[in-house]
Structure formats: structure tokens, C-alpha cells
Amino acid sequence: MTVFKSNWINLSIRLYDMTKIFLPLPQSQDHNSKKEEMSKKAPLKIFSCTKSVDLTKRICDSLGVDVGKSSCPVFSDGEFEPCYEETIRGSHVFIIQSTPPPADNLMELLLMIDAAKRASAYKTIAVIPYFGYARQDRKDKPRVSIGAKLIADLLSAAGADRIITMDLHADQIQGFFNFPVDHLYASSMFIPFIGKMGLENLVVASPDVGGTKRANTYAKMLGTDMVICHKTRAKANVIDSMTVIGDVKGKNVIIVDDLIDTAGTISKAADLMMEKGAISVRAFAAHGVLSGPAYEKIENSALTEVYFTDSIQGKKESPKIKYIPIAKAMGEAIERVYKNQSISSLYYG
């Protein structure tokens, strides 16, 4: 009986020791402070993918840092293999790449994120000035994908810890991610610029019903009225009909949107507003995708000027198209994320 009791006591002691191994220990204040100190010591490194080389250089110039060394060898069949040409172990790695079609732009970004994770980066942040596939944010008809959600899942699976982006097609896309999203707004640059233009009898217009929230924000900040263009589509990129809700007679109209693709909507809206008696029509959009006949439509339309940010590099020059740089705003957002500071003052939310 005594031997049995002794063995039972020994077994109990061993089981107790095992629980100390497997049960999580409470995180001490000292442990948390060490973790915060480690975050501060982690160096800042910024890299570019091939689509955003010029923008990355301007961002790095605004921060006073060098662009990180990387390469992207391409095989004969078109396959590519991004590679870091310097150590990034323990670093805050920011990878800059807009993701318009073709899909190679997105694939390169995913491979760069994966490479950073496998190279023991402390944090990997994807800076995506233009977030491609954002228009696929819901099932608007049967048997279609929700592309924006799929892209969010791919970025997470690749190993991204956070993304910084600008003017998503729909704000709710932020909810597709299971990690922080810093959503910047081009209005922080457009509104001061519009104010300095000195236009009288100004009115802000939304090119469709879906953009009324954005247009309302601009109208409030500029202290103007708002009008809406109501359109129906025959199919993607093809407008069936359009009407203007509101008075534009004798007004200088500013149309605001998140992106311009084929420029069909914006050109038709401008022509219609001029027919309704507008003095001039200008357009401001965060992203100039400008595919297909976009340049020709803008040139042949009643638009006086069209302004974009340089989130996407222009394919060619046009006397009507002008770009407002975002390097300083993006650079400040990167710096504040790196220093764990608020970035809400960078945009009008």
C-alpha cells in the first residue's frame, strides 16, 4: 500500500510538471516591453515590384531612404522569380505594387510577400496604391466570383501582415481581410487642389448612384451642392442610358470617382452636363486605369481636364490628363505605420 501511494505521488508530480510545459504562461510586462523594443529596433526596408518602380523611388526620396535591392528574373516561358538581393531578417518590409491587369502584377506581389516571410522578415506590409479586382466586391448576378475577397485571401495566405491602399472601389472590402487595412483617400490631395483652382459656382457630381457617398464628402468639404448622374448599363463598360439629377446650369462641375477605366461613363456625363448648361466639366479620380479607347474618349469629350493620382503609371500623354503625386502621402503613411502612429489625419474620412 505504501509503495502504491508513493508511485501515485510521483505520477502526480510529473503530471503537474507537464502542465507547466504545455499551459501558456502569463505574459509579463517585461515580456511585452521587450517585444515593443524589438519592434522599434526592426529596420525599415522598402522594395518595389516592377509595376511601381517610379512611385517607389519617389516615396523613398520623400522618406530619405534607399530603395531596397531586389530582382525579378524571368524564365523563357514567362515565369518569373522575385528575389531580395539583401538581407531582410528581422526587418519591417514594405512592398509597393499596384495590381491592375495583367495578373502578373498581382502574382509578383504575392511572390515577394512569400519570399519576405521565408526570409524571416519581422513584418511584411503590402502597399497597394491601386487595389485591382476591387470592382468584384459582391455577387451582382448568379454564378460569379467575388474577386476582391479572393485577392484578400491570397494576400493573407502569402504572409502579409497588413496592407496600405488608396480609394478602394467599396469601403466594405476592408472587411474581407483578417488583418489591418490602412485605407487612404485621394480627397486629402484633391480637395486642397480644387480649392486653389478658384472656380466659382462650383458643384460636385457623382457619375453614378454608387458614388454618392464619395461625392457628398467632397461637396461638404468644398461647401457646394451635389448632383448625381443616374445610368443604366447594357453590359460591363457599355452604358445604355444616363440622366442628370440636379441643376448644373451656369455651374463649373467637378465629377469625382474612384477610378476611370474606359472613360465611357465620365465622357457621357460631361457631354450631358454641357448640354444641360454647365460652364465647364472636370473630373477627379484616384486611379487612371485607362484601358481600351479611354484616351480617345477623353480627348473627344466635353471634359476640360481630368486629374488622377499617380497610383498607376500613365500609358501615354494627353493634354487633358494631369497627375497629382501621392508619394508624400504614401511615404508618411508608411512612416507612421512603422512608428505605430495614427494615420487618420492623412485623409478626409
294 neighbors 263 (Cβ within 8 angstroms): yes
Of the candidates 290, 327, 329, 286, the residue with the CA atom closest to the CA atom of residue 309: 286
| DSSP-assigned letter for residue 100 | P
Tally Cβ neighbours within 10 Å of residue 213.
10
Cell readout for 260 is 476611370
User: Which amino acid belongs to residue 274?
Assistant: M
Catalytic residue status for 249 = no
Burial of 305: CB neighbours in 10 Å, binned 0-12, 13-18, 19+: middle
186 neighbors 167 (Cβ within 8 angstroms): yes
162-166, strands of its sheet edge to edge: 44-48, 92-96, 123-128, 162-166, 181-184
55 neighbors 86 (Cβ within 8 angstroms): no
Cα gap 238→227, rounded to integer Å: 22
Q: Given 69, 123, 220, 231, which residue is catalytic?
A: 231
How far is CA 245 from each of CA 21, 222, 279, rounded to the nearest angstrom?
69, 20, 17
Cell readout for 155 is 494576400
Of the candidates 110, 59, 98, 140, the residue with the CA atom closest to the CA atom of residue 289: 98
Q: Which residues belong to the active site?
A: 231
